């Protein structure tokens, strides 16, 4: 059966590595059939990297738990790019992986996704004029960013959970109780009958809208595993499995339940939001352990 293909790019720069993933907008009968499309994404993305950063591997999968994977032949794509120097003489070395260009993607329905472009060339300059964030990129970077943006809008999507924009609303929980021993970590969420349809035992549902009780062993909000069913006269009870004990007082604060469903959102717009610094990437080329030097 034809499926959307997940393309994961593995990057390396200095002592750090990180990954970025997107899904093809088109479905394919095999992973190998999506190789040409993946090559287009890689060729566009590599031109946003500084000279120290490179692509170590490109892996294709279905992202559905099948564990099937396909490695893109590295001889079919360019793994490095030399940015054009600016008149200021700024370095074209890649910035640290935790320094990233913050990018906002959106689809035609209003779904949004933030992503981070690490490894960009250290070619930003500052100004006290506009824009207010005092960050400007080189002409070459902006040119290559436009080509990457065009590639995303033409061919790529991200996978996300459906929400209010997709008319997904929580089903009210009309009762919530702690299950008796020996199943102390379990709770029974009694849900209006006309709602979630068939739910398989072992699947996951999301409880939401409950008041947070800080310091409690387990918050009711979040994903739970369906352990079984306890049909009632006017409502249907779903027994949920947690990982530790529930505070009895917490379960009286009723919220709603959603059966999470996912979809692919085709990218329709891409915009730079500035530069950010956040913890991302792992040390891949350095020794294990802490980096503190002996005194």
Is residue 12 located within the same domain as residue 128?
Answer: yes
Which of 103 and 182 is assigned the larger pLDDT?
A: 103
**Is 291 a member of any domain?**
no
- pLDDT at site 233: 44
Look at residue 290 and tell me if it is in a domain: no
Q: How far is CA 23 from CA 28, 41, 138, 144, 177, in A?
A: 11, 11, 29, 21, 41
Q: Are residues 137 and 173 in the same domain?
A: no
Are residues 141 and 253 located together in one domain of the fold? no
Give buried/exposed letters for 65-91 (b at 16+ CB in 10 A, else e): eeeeebebeeeebebebebeebeeeee
> Is residue 288's pLDDT more than 50?
no
Q: Is residue 147 pLDDT above 90, yes or no? A: yes
- Predicted confidence at residue 294, as pLDDT, reads 46
Are residue 132 and residue 274 in the same domain, yes or no?
yes
In this predicted structure, the answer to whether residue 18 has a pLDDT above a threshold of 80 is yes
Nearest to 25 by CA among 40, 10, 11, 44: 40
If one counts the domains in the chain, the total is: 2
Please tell me whether residues 147 and 88 are part of one structural domain. Answer: yes
Does 51 fall in a domain? yes
Does one domain contain both 201 and 121? Answer: no
Percent of all residues in the chain with a pLDDT value above 90, rounded to a whole number: 34
Do both 220 and 157 map to the same domain? no
Output the average pLDDT for the chain: 79
In a domain, 293, yes or no: no
Q: What percent of the chain has pLDDT over 70?
A: 70
Q: Is 70 exceeded by the pLDDT of residue 14?
A: yes
Domain span holding position 233: 169-260
* Residue with the larger pLDDT of the pair 240 and 107: 107
Is residue 144 assigned to a domain?
yes
Shared domain check, 144 and 110: yes
pLDDT band at 93 (very low <50, low <70, confident <90, very high): confident
Alpha helices in 121-179 (DSSP H): 139-155
288 within a domain of the structure (yes/no): no
* Phi then psi dihedrals of residue 271, to 5 deg: -140, 140
**Residue 195 scores a pLDDT above 50:** yes
Q: What is the pLDDT of residue 108?
A: 95
Asked whether the predicted pLDDT for residue 98 surpasses 50, the reply is yes
Of the segments 14-28, 63-77, 148-162, which one has the largest average pLDDT value?
148-162
């Amino acid at each position: 059966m034809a499926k959307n293909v997940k393309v994961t790019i593995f990057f390396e720069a200095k002592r750090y590595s990180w990954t970025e993933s997107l899904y093809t907008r088109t479905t394919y009968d095999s992973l190998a059939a999506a190789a040409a499309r993946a090559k287009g994404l890689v060729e566009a993305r590599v031109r946003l990297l500084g000279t120290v950063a490179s692509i170590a591997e490109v892996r294709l999968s279905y992202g559905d738990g099948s564990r099937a994977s396909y490695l893109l032949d590295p001889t079919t794509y360019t793994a490095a790019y030399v940015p054009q120097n600016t008149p200021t003489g700024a370095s074209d070395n890649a910035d640290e992986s935790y320094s990233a260009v913050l990018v906002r993607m959106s689809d035609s329905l209003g779904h949004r996704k933030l992503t981070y472009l690490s490894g960009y060339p250290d070619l930003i300059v500052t100004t006290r004029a506009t824009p207010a964030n005092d960050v400007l990129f080189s002409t070459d970077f902006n040119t290559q960013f436009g080509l990457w943006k065009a590639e995303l809008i033409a061919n790529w999507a991200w996978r996300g959970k459906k929400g209010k924009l997709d008319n997904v609303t929580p089903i009210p929980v009309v009762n919530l109780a702690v299950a008796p021993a020996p199943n102390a970590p379990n709770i029974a969420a009694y849900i209006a009958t006309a709602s979630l349809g068939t739910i398989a035992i072992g699947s996951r549902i999301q409880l939401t809208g409950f008041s947070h009780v800080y310091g409690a062993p387990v918050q009711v909000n979040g994903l739970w595993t369906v352990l079984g069913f306890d049909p009632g006269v006017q409502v249907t009870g779903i027994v949920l499995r947690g990982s530790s004990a529930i505070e009895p007082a917490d379960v009286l604060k009723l919220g709603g339940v959603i059966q999470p469903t996912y979809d692919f959102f085709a990218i329709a717009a891409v915009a730079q939001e500035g530069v950010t610094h956040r913890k991302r990437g792992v040390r891949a080329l350095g020794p294990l352990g802490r980096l503190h030097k002996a005194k």
